[in-house]
Amino acid sequence: MINTDEIRKDFPILNLKKNGKRLVYLDSAATSQKPMQVINAVSDYYQTYNANIHRGMYDISVKATEEYTNSKELAADWINAGSYREIVYVRNATEAINIVALSWGNENIKEGDTILITTMEHHSNIVPWQMLAERKKAHLEYVKLNESKFIDMDDYREKLKKNPKIVAFTHVSNVLGTVNPAKEMVELAHSNGAVVLVDGAQAAPHIGVDVKNIDCDFYAFSSHKMLGPAGIGVLYAKEDILENMPPVLGGGDMIRSVNFDKSEWNELPWKFEAGTSNIEGGIGFGAAIKYLKGVGIKNIEMHENAITMYALKRLADVKGMSIFGPGIEEINKRIGVISFKIDGAHPHDIATIFNSEGIAIRAGHHCAMPLVRELLSENAVARISFYIYNTQEEVDTVIDAIAKVKEVLRLNKQ
């Protein structure tokens, strides 16, 4: 199990105080905090071997290239990809999905074709497909959720009968915390001839991901949600698919040769990485993956499972409170993301009062507006989310903060 006391020593921001109270950070689903090992890796690059990659024959350029490439190998290992040739660095998971829609989508989606996603999706896995469907005059279909807020697998099987060219779904919901049966869904989609993209932004930091076992064609995730820097993420794709996809951006580093009339593309994965890379981001991302590997994904899963179980049990005793997503009886089908509402309290007011108590949480539609509006019948919900540095004592502060919300808003007198 995780020694949280030791881990917290690596995160300087967790020593911050607000109004004399230590920061309680419960918004890791939005972005995670960074350990000194990541901060130092980025700082060391800037201070001791800052140089461009792939271009210099001098020592610090060679080292920068090696460290950057090594981070891709670490990312490939983290999700069990075949090699780093299947790891394309992008700005974030959003850009990864857009690249698939712009490159694979523009080449393969024709007028009248079907694109299938679910009503559980983040905007990043909705809007690119809406844009593609509009460009190509294709049909965008949605798989509904069942009453338990899981993907309705019967509806999924029925929608697959429409023979979609591509299926895209989230591995883990950023609102409900639900872990979807990715392997089963991919198998069903493949049996109907579809290519599959999995949005792993909320999965890769928290649960073991094996893209070979899942057998997805594309997988997207971001560095900043797994202790690494912002501005860098991963598009994983099977090598044969990447080979046949045209690049989206043109320029330096993605070419093998350039002539006035025609250019030839570089080998994978550089074919999709035009211009100067986010070198420090890649190096910091590599340091983050090393840190997480040191903790161990199974330990991460067990820690989050335990703290989420504790939180759900404590929150169940709060009157006038609704919690969305799988309950305690299905704890193994969710991660440490808990969205909730308190009767009579707007989520923004909840977050503001929590902030006065030194607790950072998220409030709003969480970039999943259709899900929050239509399935939860709310315009916004409050959300707490956990990671390796959170403790049960911090859950206790949430209970105290909820009492403060009720006191400030005079909800106890209603």
Residues designated as active site: 367
The DSSP code for 249 is S
Distance CA 403, CA 353 (A): 10
Alpha carbon 376 to its chain centroid, in Å, reads: 21
Contact predicate 44/56, CB 8 Å: no
First-residue to last-residue Cα distance in the chain: 43
Tell me how crowded residue 252 is: count the other CB atoms within 10 A of its CB: 14
* Strand bridging mode 233-237 / 218-222: antiparallel
Distance CA 211, CA 183 (A): 9
Contacts of 380 (CB under 8 A, 6+ apart): 346, 347, 348, 363, 364, 365, 372
* Strand bridging mode 233-237 / 87-90: antiparallel
Distance CA 66, CA 151 (A): 42
In 3-state terms, what secondary structure has residue 285? helix
Distance CA 284, CA 40 (A): 8
State the Rg of the chain over Cα: 22
What is the total residue count of the chain? 414
Contacts of 286 (CB under 8 A, 6+ apart): 41, 67, 70, 71, 74, 75
- b vs e for 160-182, b when ≥16 Cβ sit within 10 Å of the residue's Cβ? beeebbbbbbbbbbbbbbbbbbb
C-alpha dihedral over 248, 250, 253, 255, to 10 degrees? Answer: 100
Contacts of 262 (CB under 8 A, 6+ apart): none
